């Protein structure tokens, strides 16, 4: 009798957990659907993004791993317009965020700095504004950071030089200002990575230009 009661308790607890606690797949599906609601999609590339499905792994342009966790989002050159959403920071196993060559506006959410598995962040050729979030310095696995050809302003966060695995950096064709960090991983990037930012000075290592944290650069 005691064993039978114990089994009943375990079953009840399991059912409660399934009912009350959202699964990772549901959380990730909700996060992606928040992006869908935030953008206009004239080509209907997001038509398969049905929030009533168990998980988003059957949606077009979404790749998942064996645990049905989202690892890749491929929406490059999809004619999307609108803004990025902070909910994207909930895709904890995301490795590739490919949203380049669209017409995205607004700022880069600082929550993207929580994507610890991210290898590639490609947001180039959009109309993004605001500053580069310093939180991106938390992306220790990041290899590729391409933010070129937007309308980003402000300084290049010095914290980004801590990204030891960063192989490709491109912030050219923006409106960045201040000086170019040259320590850490930034020591290997050429001037082409920073080209066509008329208010950007440096490199910092020259010695005549210091990294001024005061006013005059926004």
Q: Which tokens belong to 184?
A: 């850490």
In a domain, 213, yes or no: no
In a domain, 149, yes or no: yes
In a domain, 218, yes or no: no
In a domain, 171, yes or no: yes
Domain CATH number, residue 48: 3.80.10.10
The model's pTM: 0.85
CB atoms within 10 A of CB 188: 11
Q: Is 118 exposed, middle or buried (0-12, 13-18, 19+ CB in 10 A)?
A: buried
Nearest to 25 by CA among 64, 60, 72, 74: 64
pLDDT 10s digits, 161-187:
999 999 999 999 999 999 999 999 999
Q: Which residues contact 155 (CB under 8 A, 6 or more apart)?
A: 131, 176, 177, 178, 217
In a domain, 168, yes or no: yes
Specify the higher pLDDT residue, 185 or 6. 185
In a domain, 137, yes or no: yes
Q: What are phi and psi of 32, to 5 degrees?
A: -70, -35
Which region, left, alpha or beta, applies to residue 95 given φ > 0 means left and ψ of -120 to 50 means alpha? alpha
Q: Mean pLDDT throughout 38-62?
A: 95
Q: What's the domain count of the chain?
A: 1
In a domain, 106, yes or no: yes
In a domain, 150, yes or no: yes
Give the whole-angstrom CA distance, residue 183 versus residue 131.
Answer: 20
pLDDT at position 9: 39
Q: Is 77 exposed, middle or buried (0-12, 13-18, 19+ CB in 10 A)?
A: middle
pLDDT 10s digits, 99-147:
999 999 999 999 999 999 999 999 999 999 999 999 999 999 999 999 9
Give the whole-angstrom CA distance, residue 153 versus residue 150.
Answer: 9
**Residue range of the domain that includes 54:** 27-203
Q: What are phi and psi of 149, to 5 degrees?
A: 60, 55
Q: Is the pLDDT of residue 13 over 90?
A: no
């Amino acid at each position: 009798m005691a064993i039978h009661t114990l089994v009943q308790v375990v079953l009840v607890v399991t059912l409660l957990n399934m009912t009350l606690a959202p699964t990772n797949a549901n959380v990730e599906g909700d996060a992606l659907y928040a992006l869908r609601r935030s953008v206009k999609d004239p080509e209907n590339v997001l038509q398969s993004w049905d929030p009533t499905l168990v998980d988003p792994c059957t949606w077009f342009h979404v790749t998942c791993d064996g645990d049905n966790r989202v690892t890749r989002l491929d929406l490059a050159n999809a004619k999307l317009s609108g803004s990025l959403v902070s909910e994207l920071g909930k895709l904890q196993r995301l490795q590739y965020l490919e949203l380049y060559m669209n017409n995205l506006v607004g700022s880069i959410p600082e929550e993207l700095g929580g994507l610890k598995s991210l290898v590639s962040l490609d947001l180039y050729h959009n109309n993004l504004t605001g500053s580069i979030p310093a939180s991106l310095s938390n992306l220790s696995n990041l290899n590729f950071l391409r933010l070129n050809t937007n309308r980003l302003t402000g300084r290049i966060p010095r914290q980004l030089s801590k990204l030891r695995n960063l192989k490709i950096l491109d912030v050219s064709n923006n409106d960045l200002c201040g000086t170019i960090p040259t320590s850490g991983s930034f020591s290997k990037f050429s001037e082409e990575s920073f080209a066509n930012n008329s208010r950007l000075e440096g490199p910092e290592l020259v010695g005549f230009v210091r990294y001024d944290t005061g006013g005059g650069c926004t």
